[in-house]
Structure 1
Amino acid sequence: MPLAFLRSGDMANVVRVRGKGEVHHHLENLGFVEGAAVSVVSEQAGNFIVQIKGASVALDRSVASKIIVA
């Protein structure tokens, strides 16, 4: 399911990042790679703050929808 479906406090593992190009590459550089644990710190109005590999990252709903988690 897409990361955008998670709510504050939820945890999951990255399965894959959909899409190609610049956004895909940028997300991989931030740590969104297969098997990485991600937790949602907060979610408001479709914007997310997530914790991944010890860093906090802000994502909007369209970008969060590209990240598939389980």
Structure 2
Amino acid sequence: MPLNLAEFHKIYTIARICGLDKQKHYLETLGFTTGATIEVLSELHGYFIVLIKESKIGLEKRLAQNVILIAE
């Protein structure tokens, strides 16, 4: 399921990253890599606040749709 459809405060694993190469590279530099665990903390004004690799990151809704998750 895409990150924007994930439930809050539940642990997920990143299955894959979709989108253009530029978008994929940007997400990978932020730590969004296949196999990484992620927790969606909240949503605020179209941005998803996530906890990944012990860092809180705000991710725009359009980019969040490119992150495909699997529930643990």
Q: Give the TM-score of the pair, scaled to structure 2.
A: 0.87
Tell me whether 43-52 or 12-21 shows the greater mean CA deviation: 43-52
Look up the SS of the partner of 1:14 in the other structure: strand
Residue aligned with 1:13, SS: strand
Listed as ranges, the matches of 1:13-32 within 5 Å are: 13-32=13-32
Note if contact 1:42-1:49 (Cα within 8 Å) is conserved in structure 2.
yes
In structure 2, runs of 5+ residues without a counterpart are: none
Aligned residues: 70
C-alpha spacing 1:46/1:6, structure 2 compared with 1 (3 Å): farther
Q: CA deviation at 1:21?
A: 2.1
The Cα shift of 1:45 comes to 4.0
Give the Cα separation in 1 of the matches to 2:5 and 2:53. 20
State the identity %.
36
How high is the TM-score relative to the length of structure 1?
Answer: 0.89
Inter-partner Cα distance in structure 2 for 1:52 and 1:3: 12
Change (3 A) 1:46 1:10: farther
Q: Which residue of 1 aligns with 2:56?
A: 56
CA shift at 1:10, angstroms? 2.1
Unaligned runs of 5+ in 1: none
Counterpart of 2:8? Answer: 8
Q: Is the 8 A contact 1:7 1:42 kept in 2?
A: no
Name segments (4+ residues, structure 1) moved above 6 Å. none
CA distance in 2, matches of 1:21, 1:42: 27
